[in-house]
Structures are given as C-alpha cells and as structure tokens.
Structure 1
Amino acid sequence: MTKFLLIAGGAALGLTATTADAFETGRLSGYLSIEVENDWTFDSSDPAAELNDTYTTIESGLSFDFGAGFALNSTLVLEPIRDATDDRFFEDHGAYAEELFFSKELGTAELKLGKFNPDFGFAWDIAPGIFGADFAEDYELTERVGGAVAVPFSAAGGEHVFSVGVFNADRSVLSNSLGSRRGQTSLGDGGVSNTNGAESWTATLSGEFGQTAYNFGVQHQAAGAGNNTDQDGVVLGAIHTFDAGSTALELLAEVAYFNHFDGTTNSATFTTLGLAAPVGPVTLSGVYSLRDVDGASSADNLFTVSAEMELFDGMIGALAYRYGDEASVDSHTIGTLLAYEF
C-alpha cells in the first residue's frame, strides 16, 4: 500500500530538512526531523487572525538497546509552546521530552512503561497535505505516564495489532520545557486524565486487509480538577488504495465521537475525509473536516487542497490552500513549502 505524501504543519513558505530514515550505531538507533515553516493567514473575518508565523519544529527519536529485547526510548521535541497572537518570527520555542519510556519484547508482543503517546486514531498523523490534520489533532493523545502492551496477530488474511494502555497526564519535571517555559503541570491545572493515579485507558485494534488499512479504538479519560465528568470516546478510520486506470488513488476516512468532550457536558464529533492521487509528477490531495461540538454556535468546517511535487532528488515543493470556518470566523490561508530529505 502506498502512503499519503505527508508535509507536516501548515506553511505559507517553509524549508524542511528531515533525516527520513532511522540511523543505527551499535545499540543506539533513531531519527531526526528538522522543519522550518511559515503560516500566513491573509484574509479573515476576524482581523486579529490575519498574521504571519515563522517557526521551526525539530523532533528526535532515540532508542538504546540493552539487549534481551529491553530498550530505553525517547522522543525529544523543539517547537513553539504557545499559539501565535501576532506576527511571529522564530519566537516562543521550547524543548521538551514528549516520550521517555522503557520497552520490553514479550515474544511477539511489546510492553511500554513510562511517558508515552497512547494509540487512538490516525487521521491526526496521516491526513494528506499541509493542513489536512488540523482538526483531528484535537483528539491526539500525547505525554501520558503509565503502561501499554501491543500484541500483533494474523487473522482473516490480514495482519493486526491489539493494544491496551493505562495512564494519567504527565506532571513530572518532563512536563515543563527548556527555552520558553510552558510550566510544570500540576493537579490543579485540571484536564481529563490529569488524576492522581492511572485511571484512564485506551484499547485499539488496527491492521491491514490487502489494500485497506483500518483502526478502531475506544478510550476513557478520567475527570481532573474543574471537569464536570469523565470523557469517553470512540474512533473508527480506514485508508483504501484503489487503481483508477494508471493512477493509484488513496482514500482516507475517520470519525471520532466523544460523549463528554474535554470533561464537559458537551458531546463532540470529528470527521476527516481525505483523497490523494498522483497526476504525473504531482500528487494532488484534498481534505474536508468537520468539528461539531454541542453548545457551540455552529459546527466548524475545514477545506484544504494541496499539490506536492518532487522538484529534484530529495527536494519536494508544495502549494496549498486552506479555508476554515471556526467559531463563526472565516479564514483563508495560502501555503507553500519546500521539503528536503537527507
């Protein structure tokens, strides 16, 4: 199955350098991704939203193998730690540990203990184009502390993985950042899964049948300080690749529902539909996303289109347009991006 061509982040003009392939030196292996991006919202019904934001995102994943299937793993990130409120040029950057956990192979299964990102959905990661994942990122799970086990198996002619994780929000020193400080999380900050113990959990099933990949997951995140109730959610997504003459099309669809979103009394539904297709040397993609939260004046809508092309070896150029109708504010963004992989 081919994969969507992914350009991370929204960019009006950006230069991205990525070591796409993991390196391995003795017992140490990992990857490094360096991105420099610019977001430009050129027209909005809220004049305050018209701004230009230039920033970098650096992510490093490292794994040290102790032998016998036992390893220490980390994901370190440098990025802006707050949203832009005005034109911004390489400001508000902080470095932090998104993941730091031990893993142990148990036969074909894997056990994780420490700070990790629980599995739940995949549109937030693989929706195509520059802006395609913007709404789905609202339910991405990151920086939780606890444990998880993943068990791969074969069934019905396909390969699958069943995983379960239990966790709470990270409140250790690792929840802070270097450079621009985001502050160490405390119980008083509230938020779902920010509890004394590992009272929250996810269970997911993912896999492939031929040209179709799927994921199904459920979650429970316990109420923290200031929350009205626990959050429960379910997600179902699929990617299918099919031939249309000489062109291979990829279609993505994912729906996530939460009965008490963010610990409130409001339910929320997220829908992401994406399509990517190569047309000669250019990959065209489009995404429509819906974010419908009870209590809001109206549902939010997102439309994006992108064109991506390999300009020469290792260099990819992209052009994209984003229309967002969010909280009754209409905004238009043009994105261009250069991505270099080495």
Structure 2
Amino acid sequence: MKKQTHLAGLCGLAMLCGHAAQAQDAGFTWEAEIEIGVDSTVSSDDPTAEFSDLYLSIEAAFEAAITDRITAFGGLTLESVTDPTDDRSFDDLGLYVNELGLRFAFGETLVSVGKLSPVFGVAWDDAPGYYGTSLSGDYELAEMIGLTVDTPLGADGTLSIAVFYADNSVLSDSIGNRRGRNSVAAGGVGNTGKLNNIALQFSREFGATTAWVGARHLAAGTGDVSDENGVVAGLAHDFGNGWDIIGEMAHFSGAGGTAADATYSTLGATYVLDQWSFSGTGTVVNTSGAGRDKMLALGIDRQITDNSEINFGLARFDVGGVKSTAVGLAAVVSF
C-alpha cells in the first residue's frame, strides 16, 4: 500500500507538471522540488534514538490567474507524515494539501484567503545548512485557515498581517498513510476553530541588509493552560564577498499553551565558493523550568546544476538533557 502511495504521488506530480507546461501561457505557473535523503542519529545518550530514516519528500505549488486581480494558489506535499521510531526506508508516505486559496490584488497590496502559512520569523526557513532549522522550526506557522494581508510600507518595507486558526477541515488529513483529520478537541494553541489568532511582521531592506520584527498571539486550545504570545526580531546581511549571516531571536510567554516562557536564539553564517556552500548554525532554546536545549550544525552544499544540489549536514544536539549526534545527506532537484 505504501509503495502504491509513493507511485501515486510521483504520477500526480508528473500530471501536474504536464498540465502546467500546457497552461503556462494561460496564466498558470508551477514549481516543484524533490528531495531524497537519509537522516541518521549515529550516537545518542538514548540508544533507542539511534536509527536512520531514508526519506522522500516532494513539494509542488501552483498559481493560476483567474482575472488580472484574482489568483488561485495551492500546494501539495508528499512525505512521511509520522516521525520515525526505528530504521525506516521510504515508509509512512502521505499526500496532503499544504496551501489552497485565492489571492486578491489591490494595487500592491495582496489579500490571501484559504489554507495558508502566516508570516512569523524567518530562521525556521532560512537558517543555513541541512540541520539549520531543526530547533527554530518549532515556531513555524503552517497549514492555517484564515486571511493574510501583505502590503508595502515605504520603498523597501513590507507589513504582513494574518488572522487564522489551525486547519481542522478535511484538508488536514492525508491520503496514503493517514495522519488523521485535525479537530478542535485535539487541543494545542491556535487550534481553536475561530479567527482569534493573529500574527504580524514588518520587514525592511537596507541595501544588503534585511531586518524584521514581528509578534503573534495564539489563543489557548482544549487542555491548554495559557494563551501563547510571541515576539521575534532578526537581521540578515550579505557581505558581498561570499559571506552572509542571519541572526534571529524569538520569545514566547505561555509557550505551547503551557505556563512556561521560551526564548529561541539562532545565529547562522554561510560562505559560498564557486559551486560550494559552507555553513554553520547554532540555536539555543531557554525554557523556564525546563533548562536549555542546544544545537550546533555544520553544512556543506554542492551545486550540481542550476536546479540540482547535494546537501550534507552534521549536527550535535542537546535536547531535554539527551545529547546526540546526527548526520544527513540529501539530493535535491527543483523545477
């Protein structure tokens, strides 16, 4: 059954690519990325955590112009929808919709409605290296139902505002390996079924430097003891000599709906030399009453062609008092 799901996902992507090529001139655009890799915990204080995950991930996204001001958008993901607990090879694959909706243009202001990913922070996506986003990914906002507004402020600034709740529609489930439909009863901050969660972020470019600040409020869900309120600030700079850096700090009170506060600090640097990229990223998470989690990661990326690359990563984790070392290798092809 899982092999059939894998083949179905590949066939679906091929069909999407074919239709996109035919419709390109009609205002239909698409992009896709295929990643095949292995992520191995080679040593750990917890011997049961020492295993390898040989994985496949496919993401495809489209935009289709309906009128000169209205655009439909959407995205599909095929990946393992459960966390591994032992050695795994291309298992637990499920296909799901990660975005789907309509976007309206009012001059330079864009209003998006549907299933979407509100903007909050950058490090969860842009921290460099194979493992660079491993801890900062905790505060990514994805698969939300709601509305976002992106509008320019000044010559080089953008303000993003979103109201939303965690997707509890049929789109929250997957086909193939079922991850199950989300419900309000499942709990978790932001999983309220109401548009009572908000995120906003302002970013601005200063030449080769980009800075951003943001805030968010996630209402308590079933079983939570607190709302979560968060703030984030960050900076990225390209030195123009092959070096660039990114730094971000995010603080949360009532983190994850608990009574604890948590502060994430991430710093990353990349050096590009011809087709090679060398990176280092460190993240520290201070949680009140629970101590400190840490990650230090090194990455080497090799550009093979304009749309393909090989990524290698080595990371040392100290999470929940358990120290571990992970090694990862992936091939990525984009279209």
TM-score, normalised relative to structure 2: 0.90
Instruction: Indicate whether 1:257 and 2:251 are aligned.
Output: yes
Rounded to whole Å, the distance in 2 between the matches of 1:192 and 1:327 is 21
5+ long unaligned stretches in structure 2: 1-16
More helix by share: 2
Matches within 5 A, 1:117-266: 117-155=117-155, 159-243=156-240, 247-266=241-260
How far apart are 1:317 and its partner, in Å? 3.1
Secondary structure at the aligned position of 2:324 is classed as strand
Runs ≥4 in structure 1, deviation > 4 angstroms?
311-315
- Determine the structure 2 residue equivalent to 1:114: 114
Rounded to whole Å, the distance in 2 between the matches of 1:340 and 1:229 is 42
- Determine the structure 2 residue equivalent to 1:271: 265
Secondary structure at the aligned position of 2:111 is classed as strand
Deviations 1:112-156 (A, max 9, x none): 11111100001111111100010111000011111111111324x
Secondary structure at the aligned position of 1:197 is classed as coil
How far apart are 1:319 and its partner, in Å? 3.0
Rounded to whole Å, the distance in 2 between the matches of 1:190 and 1:139 is 17
How far apart are 1:315 and its partner, in Å? 4.4
Rounded to whole Å, the distance in 2 between the matches of 1:183 and 1:228 is 25
5+ long unaligned stretches in structure 1: 1-18
- Determine the structure 1 residue equivalent to 2:320: 327
Secondary structure at the aligned position of 2:171 is classed as helix
More strand by share: 1
Secondary structure at the aligned position of 1:67 is classed as coil
Q: How well do the aligned residues superpose, as a CA RMSD in angstroms?
A: 1.7
What is the one-letter code of the residue matched to 1:318? Answer: N
- Determine the structure 2 residue equivalent to 1:11: none
What is the one-letter code of the residue matched to 2:208? Answer: Q
Q: 1:280 to 1:95 in 2, by over 3 A?
A: closer
Identity %, equivalent residues: 35
Q: 1:193 to 1:277 in 2, by over 3 A?
A: same
Q: Contact 2:197–2:219 at 8 Å: present in 1 too?
A: yes
Instruction: Indicate whether 1:285 and 2:267 are aligned.
Output: no
Rounded to whole Å, the distance in 2 between the matches of 1:311 and 1:202 is 38
Secondary structure at the aligned position of 1:48 is classed as helix
Rounded to whole Å, the distance in 2 between the matches of 1:120 and 1:61 is 21
